[in-house]
Amino acid sequence: MDEFETIARLFVPLARGEPGAFGLGDDAALLTPRPGFDLVLTKDAIVGGVHFFPDDPPAAIGAKLMRVNLSDLAAKGASPRAFLLAAAIPPTVDEAWLAGFAAGIGADLDEFGGALVGGDTVSTPGPAVFSLTAIGEVPTGTMIRRAGARPGDLVCVSGTIGDAALYVAHRLRGVAVAGLDHLEERYRYPRPRLALGAALRGLARAGCDVSDGLVADLGHLCEQSGLGAVIEAGAVPLSPAARATLERAPGLLATILTGGDDYELVFALPPEADPAALTDVSVIGRFEQGQGVRVLDRAGSPLELDRTGWRHPVGRGEDAR
Amino acid sequence: MDEFETIARLFVPLARGEPGAFGLGDDAALLTPRPGFDLVLTKDAIVGGVHFFPDDPPAAIGAKLMRVNLSDLAAKGASPRAFLLAAAIPPTVDEAWLAGFAAGIGADLDEFGGALVGGDTVSTPGPAVFSLTAIGEVPTGTMIRRAGARPGDLVCVSGTIGDAALYVAHRLRGVAVAGLDHLEERYRYPRPRLALGAALRGLARAGCDVSDGLVADLGHLCEQSGLGAVIEAGAVPLSPAARATLERAPGLLATILTGGDDYELVFALPPEADPAALTDVSVIGRFEQGQGVRVLDRAGSPLELDRTGWRHPVGRGEDAR
């Protein structure tokens, strides 16, 4: 397989006619932001056996790489504009696999916007490593930061929490779950909350995505905002599958609250805001003076969680930031 | 080693007080280009055992990662502004190694400008993989493209060609060389030609850096410009070390002309330009109608080269783009 030809055939169409991509035929891409917009830049990497299962479909891996980055853009209120892909590919990867991977990226470009404008493809004797740089736009001065929450602000989350973590627990530890298909879909195809993120510009005082786990990511907002937060475990939104799983095994609450890979948004709304005006958003607590995240049960008693974050135990790697 | 702490301690200072980096404490960075400037984006990845020798000093590897990307910015006429780093780190890498690696990046930020604004650190069971996204600025409309050379334009190169390739040939194949220290320095610490690149804005009709090998990279200019080129082997600038090596083993000419990792610039100047007004630039040939690169010996006879490019044979990987 001549890698130059493979790139030409598989990745060039992902430039989607973006003029600044030069058909991926130059050393660099050109990007001219629209007047009145800031650029938002993020970059996440995934490693085979660490961040995805080796038997995950290649299109799902391409989609996941896109979505972990799109989720960061969403959390910041940005709209996707351009991507750069670095792919370190082991000799075991063949062209059909790469075609599936590229198709997963392409489908997400079609659905969420933006174009592949550059990158690099190299070989590695190790597992596949992919890193994606995602560049989005926000109107000047409207990027949602981790810092900015105030005491009394509402702690809000989108969607449901814990599905992906339950899927991983099932795969790695044989944990019995209900609704496995739903959990697997949530793990493989997280939904970047781009529309919600855009709606939160000028409204949310702080926000990030739930990638490391709800408690850890809310902790990031607290740390950067110089605050603490208290949430009610019973208010955390669960899918029917997660709810049924939890009814059978209440001890999985810690997995749900601290597991990662949800790619929902957690954010601070001022107390006078109307969360019900936002689609698929739940209020789960309040920011408060202090530090750290307190989790209360239905009786108002503090819950001790056995871990505060999630570090991708699929392989032997750990994930930071 | 807690990777979060390591990142905080080692990488946060590389943000260099850039406000849009948020001290590497947010999910994303913010970048607002100056009015009247375009952004130039490039991304290169390097793999342990493929693009660098495992015993290369970690600071040299950090510098090399910076410089392969800075060289792309230089070739496009851009000035560095921001970088995003993805690091996939094997368990064999310890904190001292990472500190050296970060120091290499930091020294280059000091020397060449820009700041680290974001990225990701993950673990891998395989070799270290680093990818860097480099973002530079050019005055609007002045990016130097691969396309744009015209028949009769001068083929110019900066510096000297072939030093890094001779070092690699020595390390991998035991080729006898003169001036090993010089060759090693050139391999480990290529000099991004940022000042020359800036001087070429509005002057060079096309350009790229010499990363895959002189003949291959000149071939990229030809292909994108829809032309051919002819160069004289005897006009290709050589260091004293390369010249002495070649005198002992004339067969190494192919290695010099087709080897990679020089990170000099190859570019097209209009025939009426004065290359002597540029520092450290040699004219080695002309663009012409047709396609492909012809290499002539001192007698004007065509030379057959055994390869037209270089694909990083340090390990078993290959490099594309």
Which three-class secondary structure state does DSSP give residue A16? coil
DSSP annotation of A303: P
Question: Taking the CA of residue B299 as centre, how many other CA atoms within 13 Å lie in the half-sphere pointing to its CB?
Answer: 3
Whether residue A206 has pLDDT greater than 80: yes
- Cα A153 from Cα A149, distance rounded (Å): 7
The percentage of chain B sitting over the pLDDT mark of 70, rounded to a whole number, equals 93
Mean pLDDT along residues A213-220: 96
Find the CB nearest B42 among A7, A28, A40: A28
- Cα A97 from Cα A93, distance rounded (Å): 6
Mean pLDDT along residues B85-113: 95
Residue of B50, B38, B43, B107 lying closest to B79 (CA atoms): B38
Which position has the token pair 């475990």? A233
Mean pLDDT along residues A237-246: 98
- For A75, which residue in chain B has the nearest alpha carbon? B27
Q: Do A33 and B33 touch (CB under 8 A)?
A: yes
Q: Which residues of A touch B321 (CB under 8 A)?
A: 4, 7, 24, 119-121
Quote the mean pLDDT of chain B: 92
- Cα A286 from Cα A283, distance rounded (Å): 8
Whether residue A317 has pLDDT greater than 60: no
Give the amino acid at A137.
E
Question: Taking the CA of residue B156 as centre, how many other CA atoms within 13 Å lie in the half-sphere pointing to its CB?
Answer: 28
**pLDDT tens sequence across A108-124:** 999 999 999 999 999 99
Residue of A293, A270, A286 lying closest to A222 (CA atoms): A293
Q: Is A82 on the interface with B (CB under 8 A)?
A: yes
The distance of Cα B232 from the centroid of its chain, to the nearest Å, equals 23
Looking at per-residue pLDDT, the higher value among B311 and A309 belongs to A309
Mean pLDDT along residues B32-36: 89
The percentage of chain A sitting over the pLDDT mark of 70, rounded to a whole number, equals 93
Find the CB nearest A41 among B29, B78, B312: B29
Q: Do A50 and B122 touch (CB under 8 A)?
A: yes
Give the amino acid at A10.
L
**Parallel, antiparallel, or unpaired: how do β-strands B129-139 and B37-47 relate?**
antiparallel
Residue of B58, B47, B40, B49 lying closest to B133 (CA atoms): B40
Put the strands of the sheet holding A292-296 in their side by side order: A206-209, A265-269, A154-158, A281-288, A228-232, A292-296
**pLDDT tens sequence across B261-285:** 999 999 999 999 999 999 999 999 9
The percentage of chain A sitting over the pLDDT mark of 90, rounded to a whole number, equals 84
Q: Do A26 and B73 touch (CB under 8 A)?
A: no
DSSP B259-295: ------EEEEE-TTS-GGGSTTEEEEEEEESSSEEEE
Confidence band (pLDDT; 50, 70, 90) for A2? low
Looking at per-residue pLDDT, the higher value among B123 and A281 belongs to A281
Whether residue A5 has pLDDT greater than 80: no
List the domains of chain A with CATH numbers: 3-139 (3.30.1330.10), 154-296 (3.90.650.10)
Whether residue A312 has pLDDT greater than 80: no
Mean pLDDT along residues B194-217: 97
**Residues 147 through 186 of chain B touching chain A, CB cutoff 8 Å:** 147
Please tell me the predicted confidence (pLDDT) of residue B175.
Answer: 96
Q: Which residues contact B246 (CB under 8 A, 6 or more apart)?
A: B238, B252, B253, B256
Whether residue A1 has pLDDT greater than 80: no
Confidence band (pLDDT; 50, 70, 90) for B287? very high
**pLDDT tens sequence across B131-148:** 999 999 999 999 999 999
- Cα B114 from Cα B134, distance rounded (Å): 9
Give the amino acid at A167.
Y
Whether residue B1 has pLDDT greater than 60: no
Cα→Cα distances A171→A175, A243, A248, B299, Å: 8, 18, 18, 69
Q: Where are the beta strands (DSSP E) in B99-179?
A: 115-123, 129-139, 154-158
- For B318, which residue in chain A has the nearest alpha carbon? A123
| Residue B186 CB neighbour total at 10 angstroms | 26
Q: Which residues contact B312 (CB under 8 A, 6 or more apart)?
A: A122, B50, B51, B260, B261, B318, B319
Mean pLDDT along residues A27-46: 94
Let me know: does A1 contact A89? Beta carbons within 8 Å. no
Q: Which residues of B touch A91 (CB under 8 A)?
A: 316
Cα→Cα distances B168→A89, A220, B172, Å: 23, 46, 6
Q: Is B316 on the interface with A (CB under 8 A)?
A: yes
- Cα B106 from Cα A319, distance rounded (Å): 23
End-to-end CA distance of chain B: 35
Mean pLDDT along residues A41-69: 93
Is ipTM over 0.95?
no
- Cα B79 from Cα B66, distance rounded (Å): 13
- For A68, which residue in chain B has the nearest alpha carbon? B27
Confidence band (pLDDT; 50, 70, 90) for B318? very low
- Helix %, strand %, coil % for chain B, to 5? 35, 25, 40
Beta-ladder partners of A285: A155, A231
Please tell me the predicted confidence (pLDDT) of residue B315.
Answer: 34
- Cα B100 from Cα B62, distance rounded (Å): 8
Whether residue B103 has pLDDT greater than 50: yes
The percentage of chain B sitting over the pLDDT mark of 90, rounded to a whole number, equals 84
Please tell me the predicted confidence (pLDDT) of residue B60.
Answer: 95
**pLDDT tens sequence across B40-76:** 999 999 999 988 887 899 999 999 999 999 999 999 9
Tokens standing for residue A259: 């597991």
Quote the mean pLDDT of chain A: 92
